[in-house]
Amino acid sequence: MNLLLGTVAAFFAIVVGIVVLRIKGGDRFEVKTPDILLALIPIAIWLVLTNKVKVIEFGGFKIEAALMEAATASIESQVTAVRTNLPVELLQSGGKGSLDEIPRLIENKTEALIFTLGSDYYVGSAVATYLQRLSEKPFFKHIVVLRPDNSFVGLANGREFAAVVGSRATQADDFVKWLKNSDTDGLAKLLPGYVSATEAVQQDADRLAALERMEKLNLEVLPVVARAGKLAGVVSRSRLVSGLLSEVVRKVR
């Protein structure tokens, strides 16, 4: 459903954009056949990717070949690295000293807080303070959970978890407890939008596989893991679709 809404929105956006450009360029208000072709590409992509149709043909051009070539391209170039500037030591029970690091994290525009399974360094009140302060900034997005060897365990919505902790302070204590006990089931239930390592996509996955995974899990962002099991970054639905559209439009032209 999210993919369908996005493609319909893209159709109207392209048509409106073409009309605006024509008017600004001094042309009369007219939408030509090639314009409709370009605007229909998002809907064509949705129809083919969801198996509603097998082939779409415009004149002598079959969109299936261009679409499938673009859809099976690797997502590697569209993976966004996550800014993570939070070593474990910063949340040790060191009182005010550790919390003094928050301004540095804000200055570095930290997008994610990293937590390690099995660690007994964390303190619920300090976790709550970090979440509260960082969630005030638009760049903060994620909670990342790793194993002691830095292999990826899970990714969660940091902003939503900050809101949960803000309304129920005991949630931060539960979070610390699940981390210390390496209780991944408890973490999965507690953390909003939690995506485990088994639900992540591999760095060499193609666009189609990533989009299908997002559709199945109803997610806008997926973690991407390298072959060694380390977190490579995240990939968003919007970036995948825009990359897909750009490549198909290039081939159509």
Residue 162: what pLDDT?
96
Nearest-angstrom CA–CA distance, 238 and 214: 11
Domain presence at residue 100: yes
Query: Is the domain of 148 the same as that of 214?
Result: yes
Question: Are 158 and 110 spatial neighbours (Cβ–Cβ below 8 Å)?
Answer: no
Q: Which domain holds residue 16?
A: 2-71
Q: How many distinct structural domains can be found in the chain?
A: 2
Classify residue 246: in a domain, yes or no. no
Helix (H) or strand (E) holding 112: strand 112-116
If asked whether residues 141 and 33 sit together in one domain, one would say no
Q: Are residues 134 and 228 in the same domain?
A: yes
Q: Are residues 34 and 131 in the same domain?
A: no
**E strand or H helix that includes residue 94:** none
pLDDT in tens, 51-96: 554 454 554 445 555 555 555 555 555 456 555 433 222 222 223 3
63 and 131 share one domain: no
* Strand ranges for 48-141 from DSSP E: 57-58, 61-62, 112-116
30 and 126 fall within a common domain: no
| Close Cβ partners of 32 (under 8 Å, ≥ 6 residues apart) | none
Residues 101 and 63 in one domain: no
Digit-coded pLDDT (tens) for 131-155: 999 999 998 989 999 999 999 999 9
* Residue 83 domain-assigned (yes or no): no
Mean pLDDT, residues 161-188 taken together: 93
Q: What is the pLDDT of residues 187-223, one digit of tens each?
A: 999 999 999 999 998 888 877 788 888 888 888 888 9
